[in-house]
Amino acid sequence: MLRDQTNFSRSEMARDTFALQAIGLRKTYGATVALERGDIGLKSGEVHALLGENGAGKSTLVRILAGAVYPGSGEMFLDASPYAPRNLMEARQNHVATAFQELSLVPNLTVAQNLLLPKLPKAGPWFVSAKETKRAGEKILARHGLNRIDPQAEISKLPLADRQRIEITRALENAGRVLILDEPTASLAETDWLFERISLARDQNVAVLYISHRLAEVREICSEATVLRNGSAIASVGLAEATDSDIFEMMVGRKAAHEKTPRSTRASNDRTARLAVKKLGGHNLHNIGFELRPGEILGVAALEGQGQQWLFKMLVGLEQPTEGQIYVDDHPVKLVGPRNALKTGSGIAYLPEERKTEGILGGLSAATNIVLPVLGSASRSPLISPKLETDVAQSSADKVEMSTRYLNFAIGDLSGGNQQKALIARTLATGAKTLLLFDPSRGVDVGTKQSIYTAIRNFADKGGSVLFYSSELPEIVQLADRCMVIYGGQVVRSFAREDITEQNLVAAMLGHVTSENSTEVKA
Amino acid sequence: MSTVQSDPSTMIRSNENPLIRFATGAGLIVLTYVVLYALHAFQQPRALTSYSIAALFNNTAPLALAAAGQAIIVISRGFDLSVAGVISICNVTLAVYPMDGPGGAMASVAMCLAIGGSVGLVNGYLVAVLKLQSIAATLATMIICQGIALVILKAPGGAVSEWIVYEMTDRIFSVIPVSGLVLGGVVLIWLALKRTSFGISIYAIGADETSAALSGINVTRVRFLAHVLAGCTYGLAGFMLSAQTATGNPTSGTPLLMLSFAAVALGGTALTGGRGGVFASIVGAATLILLQKVLFSSGVSSFYTGMFQGSILILAVVFSSLLARLGDTK
């Protein structure tokens, strides 16, 4: 069933059947080996998935193929001729284009300028023509079904999802032979547009490399997958022949438990709600009401941009509601910021959406990042004790199964999964009884996901309350005791326990609340 | 599905609020200047004569040019301390080696541009190619330049050529100040540059260097050229300063160092890069100079000038961010 990557990629006969082939790519940063043995072969007109845990070397491999990083050793062939791009433009000249996960758009330039850089249309020998730039941008957007986006809008003014679409559109425009999509759905709640674009590119005989953590997506669009583990290509496998557990096993080297664990109802209705909200409104949200009781995990499901960010920000005081009231432990409160939220009643801790910009402090150690909200407990005198700091951090790190040896690394050097674990550990370390988690497993691998789920369940089992939003429906189905669906700034539906199914959630998220399926759900 | 999807995002259009544009563009600082000038004219009716206007332009030109160069660097996300050194070298050079006549003036301008450009080359090499922190690299070049200035001229003295002193501070047809023309020329060059790929790239690397590089912009080249361009502008500032003071002083550039940053900030250019403009910075410089005049004619001792300039700076920054926030919530 599985072919050995090394054998088939080294065979001379196979070489000319690949649009882009990499053999034995290796990249080290100082003593750290980022990529040990990168082997991959992409065929024209096929979508190939790249799978692997965080830190497996996916990003490094992508960056080498994209021309952003130069490999230490190894070879690459583009249509059987040697390919060694020194930079991104060289790759682009060879019709290899990449949409990066962290987006490579210039925030203060317009959509059209970003799409056309570095060659903006000229009026005369020197000047850039604003009119032509706009027109060319408009054409590109129209070609990719994005007419609703204004080509003259500044990138920084667009929602994250549209920025991701622009990034993908730019790659599509430049990908004559090879298209590389690094986590293209990280900020997209639905994949219809993307898959339609990928299909079109595939029909034009473009080879597509698709990197994603979401196996369901990968199965939908990709025909073959290469799995990386610890910097080495483990195997290339036809997706039709491999089961999910086969793939998990290749990725993590162990069978991953994936089924929904049955739980007893922990929440009891007679206890006071930790967090309650009545008729809350503001920032396009209206009439939001819910109660979160001790021991309960409440999920929020919504398409992108339905106001879920604002809801979480209002609940920790980063934004002020214009109407309605928040109650903590049955007392009406006015929250003025995360620190204030932490100190109010039984405490509310918040995990923000953007790990890099809102979460980690890159230069500080993982331990410091974890104990940050409770620095006082890591000190005996006015001075912080490094020993005590590590001890305090350790107890929280254990809860998310984070290895001790990472605690003294600068958090910026850790993989995304470990950064996320550290941030979850931080919210646990605060001692708050209510956690607000915004997309707790965003962009992390399967193994890390399970550790995070376990930590959340354990927290709830000990009487903690959790409100979380997730862009992944299986996550809500697996974790939530109850779930509310937000659409157009309002809670349109609520589901409990066994009614929380992907089908029900999707229907409600799209605003399709017909009398027919609501009776069906009730029944 | 697609119709549902497009719903929330259709609202996002480039209907940029005029209030934001006013706050982030040159509007606010121009308005400040006009109000201050009206106050000045009210105190001193003679301020409206072409002689006084020319004198004001002459006083403004050196700082305005220094601020113009500084703005280019700040927009590309950097700081350039070498401005003080370049101006000092140009000034002592012109005082020690005066060249008379229009030909001499041409040669002098060329020399100043060459001095500024060379220092800019060094800065560009250190900052863009070797990737040193701009504040550290230009601090070093500033100290070196000040040393060179002292070698050329040990103590204040010397005389700048009469042709430069007279003609560069004169008025054409007794109306248009020459120094104003120089400033206008620099603004025009900048407005033209802004419409080139280079100009757009300066803003791009200032906002997000990594993204700019991944978008195919040659960051090293753009940053290098920006430093050379800024250096030339400082050279021009040194030339205009010499025309105004008529004499040489090895530390003549030092007072302009901090004020050039103040002018840039006053003009609404973000010190974090990516936003702002050269014209607004020039008006910012003009406002600082005009403030000195207004305080002087109000009978306030010149010891208090700094306090007022600093307070105006804080007010301007607070006011413009307030306006921007107001515009955002609308």
Residue B83 pLDDT class (50, 70, 90 cuts): very high
Spatial distance between the Cα atoms of A509 and A497, rounded to a whole number of angstroms: 17
Note which residues in 186-245 of chain A have CB less than 8 A from chain B: 190, 192-193
- Judged against a pLDDT cut of 80, whether residue A58 lies above it is answered with yes
Q: Is A325 exposed, middle or buried (0-12, 13-18, 19+ CB in 10 A)?
A: middle
In a domain? residue B7: no
pLDDT average, residue stretch B206-233 = 93
Residue B246 pLDDT exceeds 60: yes
Q: What's the pLDDT at B17?
A: 60
Average pLDDT over residues A408-433: 81
Q: What is the mean pLDDT of residues A103-115?
A: 90
Q: Is residue B100 part of a domain?
A: yes
When pLDDT is averaged across residues B265-293 and rounded to a whole number, the result is 90
Residue A514 has a pLDDT of 45
Shortest CB distance from B9 goes to which of A110, A117, A162?
A: A162
Model pLDDT for residues A476-516, shown as the tens digit of each residue:
888 888 889 888 788 888 888 777 877 777 767 766 554 33
Q: What pLDDT, on the 0 to 100 scale, is given for residue B110?
A: 96
Name the average pLDDT for chain A: 81
Top-confidence residue, A429 or B38: B38
Mean pLDDT calculated for residue range A303-316: 82
> What pLDDT is recorded for position A165?
92
Range of lowest pLDDT (B44-53, B54-63, B107-116): B44-53
**pTM higher than 0.90:** no
Which segments within chain B are labelled E, that is strand?
171-172, 176-177
Using alpha carbons, list the distances in angstroms from residue A439 to A214, A352, A420, A460, A488: 14, 8, 10, 17, 19
Question: Does A7 score more than 50 pLDDT?
Answer: no
Q: Tell me the chain B residues in contact with residue A192 when contact means C-beta distances shorter than 8 Å.
A: 1-2, 5
Whether B18 is in a domain gets the answer no
Into how many domains does chain B fold? 1
Look at residue B330 and tell me if it is in a domain: no
Give the residue-averaged pLDDT of B117-129: 97
Pair of tokens at residue B164: 């430069």
Q: Which of 62-81 (A) contact B at CB < 8 A?
A: 68
Arithmetic mean of pLDDT, A367-392: 72
User: pLDDT tens across A436-476, in order?
Assistant: 898 888 777 777 888 888 888 888 888 888 999 987 777 88
Residue B308 within a domain: yes
Break chain A into its structural domains and give their ranges.
5-95+175-252, 272-347+432-447+462-523, 355-431
Does the domain at residues A5-95+175-252 carry the CATH identifier 3.40.50.300? yes
- CATH H-level superfamily of A272-347+432-447+462-523: P-loop containing nucleotide triphosphate hydrolases (3.40.50.300)
How much is the pLDDT for A521?
Answer: 37
Cα distances (angstroms) measured from residue A405 to each of A30, A202, A414, B189: 19, 44, 11, 57
- Name the more confident of A497 and B37: B37
- Judged by average pLDDT, the poorest of A189-203, A208-222, A241-255, B275-289 is A241-255
Contacts of B200 in chain A (CB under 8 A): 109, 113, 120, 128
Report for A270-284, B80-94, B207-221, B291-305: range of highest mean pLDDT: B80-94
pLDDT at residue number A365 = 79
Please tell me if residue B299 touches chain A, with a CB cutoff of 8 Å. Answer: no
B257: containing domain: 55-319
The whole-number average pLDDT for the span A415-422 is 81
Interface residue A159 vs chain B (CB under 8 A): yes
| DSSP line for B156-167 | SB----HHHHHH
The runs of H, that is alpha helices, within A401-480 are: 416-429, 446-461, 473-479
CATH number for B192: 1.10.3470
Interface test with B, best of A108, A127, A510 (most B CBs within 10 A): A108
Does position B12 have pLDDT exceeding 70, yes or no? no
From A212-226, A372-386, B195-209, B228-242, the region with the lowest mean pLDDT: A372-386
Of B236, B226, B227, nearest to B199 by C-alpha is B226
Mean pLDDT to the nearest integer, A217-244: 85
